[in-house]
Amino acid sequence: MEYSIKGREKKVKKAFYAVLLKFLLFRLYTPLISKQTKERKLKKLHEITASKISNTFMDLEGLFLKLAQQISTLSNLLPEPYIKEFEKAQNHSKSRPAHQIKQQIESELGIKTSQIFSSFEEQPIGTASIGQVHKAQLQNGDLVAVKTQHLRIDEIAELDLQLIKKHIKIIKYFIKIPGFDEMFQEIVKMIHEELDYEHEAKQIQKIANNFKGDDRIKIPKVYEQYSTKKVLVMEYVEGEKITNHTFAQQNTLDQSQLAKNILHLFSKSIFIHGIYHADPHPGNLLVNKNGQIILIDFGAIGTLSKNMKEGLIILMQASILKDENLMISGFKKMGFISSTPGIHKISKKIIRLVNNYLVNELKIENLNLNEIDIEQINFSKIFGLIKELNLKEIEEVIKIPKDWVLLNRTIALTIATVGEIAPKVDVYQEVKPNLLKMAIQKENMGMLFKTTLQQQLLRIIALPRKIELFIEQAEAGELEVTQKNRKTEIKIVYALIQQILFAVAALYCYNIYLKSQDKAMFYISIIGSVLFLKSFITAIVLKRKIR
């Protein structure tokens, strides 16, 4: 592996500009050839360039190898030759000699490995782009997994980040990528955290404490006395990949229940605890003979920010009420929609078009993976949707929040894993209980009432203008009066007023409770909340009756 920045930069530049030149030449002569010849030559070009880039990345190792491994998962975004070539990187990580690893451990701990371990297996049980894992036994007899960073990998990572950033700037000159800077910052942060095993150890302990007493989940114990920034010693746990169907059948494990347990684990981590394992691919999700899910490799950890959490709660309200304005508020809170003046109208258009496509074309009303038939997708409708969604408008509206990068990846990987082991499981139904628990957590109750109260107040404020229009229509003889829904409409107005009163009372009592910790005030606020929900549901039921 090349260690000098000049040597690494030379290799990257050579590959980058060779590929760039090939595509520029291809663009120059394509107008002179037939469509069939163009397609054939483009396929060949992709095969050549994919091989060139993949070989360069695997030769450089370090972060470039990690990048190749990540690219191989983007099967829906890149041409097939790139996926095939980059898939080779998944098993390309080269292990370092055991004596080099032992030297690294001794340098970090300041003690001979023979004084720590009674045995140390020379062959690693796992190798990655940043480090490798060896099975060992402590002097007290405990079996452990010893995770050690490759020599000088922290220096190489910094060099690689500089090189990647430099060449991405050139790509950005030709292709504008909305929210890319935020995404890149989050990737840099993630890499720095992966290079800090002390940080990883703390996160493992936090997540282990969150699931203490839950027998469905096993999280390895950390041996703090033998762990540093570059060495991590953990309990050794036996397990097979969660996607190993043969292992599940041999041990009569219910894969549907395993899928539900995965969804419970990650939805609880994300929505209730606000801290989660952010790399749940099948290699990091194991299962033992007892059906316990074992989490390993906590290098990538995500946290759910206050704004992201509040935005999700607002989106839940918006989906119940089918309220586009509230949905936009939720996306703004999460950081997806910019605050540029006049953006509201464009946001509404994008949300409406996408929502109509999902509901009317794909008929997705839940997340039951078995019900989504790929063959039913009408791709001409997708291109029509893209045409209606003006790219300039999307660039103006949409941003990528930093904490969404890891959250999105985690959700996608979790759903993909669940789909592989039990596609009939309804993801939404399994996640819903933890979503609802998040909404009614003490710290979120005030915000929940506040947004609902705002929406109901806006409706009350709009009433005078609606009454004025009603009178104008009546005077002009344009009004058609029917008696059958009059009582129902009066009941709706009454229910709206009740919602305002109960919400104000609940908020007032809850605020007193926060200041005084008077339990009586807390119970009164709960009663007010229940009454508010009752009148809220009543209003929805009545509205449906008159439609």
Asked which of 138-147, 211-220, 224-233, 503-512 is least confident by mean pLDDT, the reply is 503-512
Whether 534 and 431 share a structural domain: no
Provide the pLDDT for residue 311: 79
Q: Mean pLDDT check: name the lowest of 73-77, 198-202, 251-255.
A: 73-77
- pLDDT grade for 329, boundaries at 50, 70 and 90: confident
pLDDT at 414 over 50: yes
Average pLDDT, the chain: 75
Among residues 376, 408, 439, the one where a domain terminates is 439
171 and 51 housed in the same domain: yes
Backbone phi, psi, residue 453, to 5°: -60, -45
State mean pLDDT over 431-454: 62
221, part of any domain: no
Structure confidence at residue 62 (pLDDT): 81
Report d(CA 469, CA 485) in Å as an integer.
19
Q: Which of 165, 186, 207 is the last residue of a domain?
A: 186
Is residue 178 over pLDDT 70? no
Tokens of 49: 């360039």
Same domain, 386 and 353: yes
Q: Both 289 and 346 in a single domain?
A: yes
Question: Is residue 438 a contact partner of residue 310, using CB atoms and an 8 Å limit?
Answer: no
Region 6-20: what's the mean pLDDT? 86
- Is the pLDDT at 354 greater than 70? The verdict is no
Q: Decide the pairing of beta strands 231-235 and 143-149.
A: antiparallel
Lowest mean pLDDT across 22-31, 90-99, 403-412, 533-542: 533-542
Predicted confidence band of residue 159 (pLDDT cuts 50, 70, 90): confident
Of the candidates 237, 240, 260, the one whose C-alpha atom is nearest the C-alpha of residue 251 is 240
pLDDT at 383 over 50: no
Contacts of 542 (CB under 8 A, 6+ apart): 488, 491, 492, 495
Lowest mean pLDDT among 9-23, 289-303, 352-366: 352-366
Is position 139 within any domain? no
3 state SS for 338-359: CCCCCHHHHHHHHHHHHHHHHH
Phi, psi for residue 239 in degrees, rounded to 5: -175, 165
CB 185 within 8 A of CB 402: yes
Domain residue limits at 479: 460-545
467, pLDDT greater than 60: no
CA 309 and chain centroid, separation: 13
Does residue 336 have a pLDDT over 80? no
Q: Measured between alpha carbons, how far is residue 33 from residues 17, 41, 524 in Å?
A: 25, 10, 78
Is position 125 within any domain? no
Does the pLDDT of residue 266 top 70, yes or no? Answer: yes
Which pLDDT score, from 0 to 100, does residue 394 have? 53
First to last CA, the chain: 70
**Cβ-count burial of 126 within 10 angstroms (0-12 exposed, 13-18 middle, 19+ buried)?**
middle
3-class SS of residue 192 = helix
> Is the same domain home to 419 and 486?
no
Place of tokens 């344009």: 478
**CA Rg value for the chain:** 28
Average pLDDT of span 290-298: 93
Cα 69 from Cα 51, distance rounded (Å): 14
467 and 411 housed in the same domain: no
More confidently predicted of 333 and 377 = 333
Residue 380 domain flag: yes
Which of 511, 535, 522 lies closest to 452, judged by CA?
535
> Could you give the percent of the chain with pLDDT greater than 90?
27
Asked if residue 370 belongs to a domain, the reply is yes
Least Cα distance to 263 among 430, 499, 101 occurs for 430
Query: With contact defined as beta carbons under 8 Å apart, do 88 and 114 qualify?
Result: no
Number of residues that make up the chain: 547
* Residue 201 forms part of a structural domain: no
Is 241's pLDDT higher than 90? yes
- Whether 122 has a pLDDT exceeding 90, the answer reads yes
Q: Which of 389, 408, 439 is the last residue of a domain?
A: 439
Q: Which has more pLDDT, 149 or 322?
A: 149
* pLDDT given for residue 413 in this prediction: 86
Q: Which of 212-221, 363-372, 431-440 has the highest mean pLDDT?
A: 212-221
The verdict on 280 and 411 lying in the same domain is yes
Q: Say yes or no to pLDDT of 401 above 60.
A: yes
Rounded to an integer, the average pLDDT of 478-504 is 53
Residue 110 belongs to a domain: no
Instruction: State the total domains in the chain.
Output: 3
Residue 368 pLDDT > 70: no
Question: What pLDDT sits at residue 307?
Answer: 85
Q: Write down the pLDDT at residue 140.
A: 96
pLDDT at 546: 52
pLDDT band of residue 33 (cuts 50, 70, 90) is confident
Comparison of pLDDT for 58 and 381, the residue scoring more: 58
Please identify which residue in the block is written with the tokens 């060949």: 44
Indicate if the pLDDT at residue 518 is higher than 70: no
Q: What is the pLDDT of residue 235?
A: 96
Residues 428 and 487 in one domain: no
By mean pLDDT, which of 285-294, 376-385, 424-433 is the weakest?
Answer: 376-385
Mean pLDDT of 113-132: 92
pLDDT at 42: 87
Do 416 and 526 lie in one domain? The reply is no
**330 and 475, same structural domain?**
no
Beta bridge partners of 480: none
Residue 376 sits in the same domain as residue 509? no
Identify which has the larger pLDDT, 503 or 458. Answer: 503
| Domain shared by 414 and 518, yes or no | no
Nearest to 267 by CA among 458, 64, 431: 431
Asked, for residue 114, whether it belongs to a domain, the answer is no
pLDDT for res 179 = 57
- Single-letter code of the amino acid located at 119: S
Q: How many CB atoms lie within 10 A of CB 502?
A: 22
Angle between helices 324-334 and 442-475 (to 10 degrees): 150
Average pLDDT rounded to a whole number, residues 90-95: 78
Q: Which two three-digit tokens encode residue 488?
A: 């129902």
Least confident window among 275-289, 329-343, 461-475: 461-475
